[in-house]
Chain A
């Protein structure tokens, strides 16, 4: 799946972002996509999120084609991106209220879910009415997670949700993801370049390198096949690509 990525001196530079990607995710599974920067993780998430149209190929979410049944798919999904995109002058509650209206969540239900999720993520009550630009990056990302879960998506797309967070915030978000899957049976597709995070959260992992899936298995299966059972996913990545993880980051 290639697309034109930008203008370079007036000449369009064609970049193939993803190629020959094929995988299935089971309902209730946490599926990890591991890869260095530029490997195509975010492009994959954007395609599933109906934000990008691939040049070729098809993607289905619970049996619905993301291109031809866009509105149906959008009702089933939500996404947390690395940049926690908000109206930064608005408060957490104002941003979440906007999201609730967009997704047709009734007022009282929305308010209850907002407060519960934010409380669970450790965001103090008094922070809810403060403009988001005055909150730390970690707090903003927690609001982004709360916003995505407010709509109770069947498929949650997490695009590097913990990048840039402090260890405590990172752990809180990770635990919450596990809890949501446990309680609601939410299916999760998680992209990350954090090996430990993927190892901890994911049932299965696809390793993406330069737009291609070079391996797909459980974390344990990957280590057994391509590294050492007691080793790390970093060893697996090196064995598969011949490159150090840090090299491409």
Chain B
């Protein structure tokens, strides 16, 4: 029990550190949040000439994508960030299991993502005067939380890239994020994708998250009926998290063998 508490405290170190950084970059946080709200409203306005369902369809896409991309970005860029700051050697030298380190980063990403998404949601509801009567809010929230697991897995897989090469690794993570945005039906149904792109949609957890959340919010489908979507997203998470950790562990050893952790000197 004492061991678990010690690991939890160490994990919290990363959460606290990142929230301290958010405070120090507060002006930028406000700017990013403002842009995020405007972006979501702009996308929602595309559907205003049609009907409320279309507006809600688009807004759900923008909100969920905003949340999932925060999770993905925070996890996948956590190593890049430390490399730019020059603190990666200090963090890697600490007596903390890598699982604890990465878990701390993921906890921060979820907390930060939930706060940001909640603020954007309030702005969107006020702006469009949307009615969520009959919507299964609990089902949508469940989809959101379950999808965090699979996005953490994908984030871990790509977090290894900056260990190999700081600049190219970061670029690679952005490309992966862009592909997920393209194929997952964020603003359109995946049936409009060219046939050769559709297989990627089937392996993207965002596809099932969006489908499940839209069923819950637009059609009021019950939580039990969402289980096929929950299951698919969970399976991707169960596969991608151990895979991500294994790849990260391999990457760390490779970096330590080839001297890539070093910033300078």
A-B complex is real: yes
Binding site for B on A (CB under 8 A): 3-5, 42-43, 46, 49-53, 71, 74-75, 77-79, 81-83, 85-90, 94, 97-99, 101-104, 131, 159
By secondary structure, the B interface counts as helix
- Closest Cβ of chain A: how far from B120's Cβ, in Å? 25
Report the bound CA distance from A51 to B85 in whole Å: 17
- Closest Cβ of chain B: how far from A111's Cβ, in Å? 14
- Asked whether A82 lies within 8 Å of B16 as measured between CB atoms, the reply is no
What interface size band does chain B fall in? 20 to 34
- Asked whether B6 lies within 8 Å of A89 as measured between CB atoms, the reply is no
- Asked whether B87 lies within 8 Å of A86 as measured between CB atoms, the reply is yes
Contact with A along B70-95 (1 / 0, CB 8 A): 00000000000000011101111111
Report the bound CA distance from A95 to B21 in whole Å: 10
Report the bound CA distance from A85 to B90 in whole Å: 7
Q: Which residues on A sit within 8 Å (CB–CB) of B258?
A: 3-4
- Asked whether A74 lies within 8 Å of B95 as measured between CB atoms, the reply is yes
* Beta-carbon nearest neighbor of B101 in chain A: A102
- Closest Cβ of chain B: how far from A3's Cβ, in Å? 5
Q: A3-B259, A42-B265, A90-B20 are in contact. Are A101 and B89 (CB under 8 A)?
A: no
Q: Which residues on B sit within 8 Å (CB–CB) of A98?
A: 13, 16-17, 20
Report the bound CA distance from A102 to B104 in whole Å: 11
- Asked whether B96 lies within 8 Å of A53 as measured between CB atoms, the reply is no
- Asked whether A51 lies within 8 Å of B95 as measured between CB atoms, the reply is no
- CB within 8 A of A102: which of B10, B86, B89, B261? B10
- Asked whether B259 lies within 8 Å of A79 as measured between CB atoms, the reply is no
Report the bound CA distance from A85 to B256 in whole Å: 18
Report the bound CA distance from A50 to B21 in whole Å: 27
- Asked whether B97 lies within 8 Å of A71 as measured between CB atoms, the reply is yes
Report the bound CA distance from A52 to B255 in whole Å: 8
Q: Which residues on B sit within 8 Å (CB–CB) of A52?
A: 256-257, 259, 261
- Closest Cβ of chain A: how far from B17's Cβ, in Å? 5
- Asked whether B259 lies within 8 Å of A87 as measured between CB atoms, the reply is no
Given contacts A78-B93, A89-B25, A98-B13, 9 further A-B contacts (CB under 8 A): A42-B265, A51-B262, A53-B257, A71-B97, A74-B95, A77-B93, A83-B263, A98-B17, A101-B12
Q: Which residues on B sit within 8 Å (CB–CB) of A101?
A: 9-10, 12-13, 16
* Beta-carbon nearest neighbor of A49 in chain B: B93
Q: Which residues on B sit within 8 Å (CB–CB) of A71?
A: 95, 97
Interface residues of B in 6-56 (CB under 8 A from A): 6, 9-10, 12-13, 16-17, 20-21, 24-25
- Asked whether A90 lies within 8 Å of B21 as measured between CB atoms, the reply is yes
- Asked whether B263 lies within 8 Å of A85 as measured between CB atoms, the reply is yes
- Asked whether A83 lies within 8 Å of B265 as measured between CB atoms, the reply is yes
- CB within 8 A of B256: which of A42, A51, A81? A51
Report the bound CA distance from A75 to B95 in whole Å: 5
Q: A46-B262, A87-B87 are in contact. Are A53 and B256 (CB under 8 A)?
A: yes
Q: Which residues on B sit within 8 Å (CB–CB) of A75?
A: 95
- Closest Cβ of chain A: how far from B3's Cβ, in Å? 10
- Asked whether A89 lies within 8 Å of B21 as measured between CB atoms, the reply is yes
- Asked whether B89 lies within 8 Å of A89 as measured between CB atoms, the reply is no
- Asked whether B94 lies within 8 Å of A102 as measured between CB atoms, the reply is yes
- Asked whether B264 lies within 8 Å of A94 as measured between CB atoms, the reply is no
- CB within 8 A of A85: which of B25, B87, B257? B87
Report the bound CA distance from A104 to B92 in whole Å: 15
- Asked whether B17 lies within 8 Å of A87 as measured between CB atoms, the reply is yes
Report the bound CA distance from A98 to B262 in whole Å: 21
Q: A52-B256, A102-B10 are in contact. Are A89 and B93 (CB under 8 A)?
A: no
- Asked whether B20 lies within 8 Å of A53 as measured between CB atoms, the reply is no
- Asked whether B261 lies within 8 Å of A51 as measured between CB atoms, the reply is yes
- Asked whether B257 lies within 8 Å of A3 as measured between CB atoms, the reply is yes
- Asked whether A94 lies within 8 Å of B20 as measured between CB atoms, the reply is yes
Chosen A-B contacts, 11 in total, with CB atoms closer than 8 Å, are A3-B257, A42-B262, A53-B257, A71-B95, A74-B93, A85-B90, A90-B17, A99-B94, A101-B10, A101-B16, A103-B94
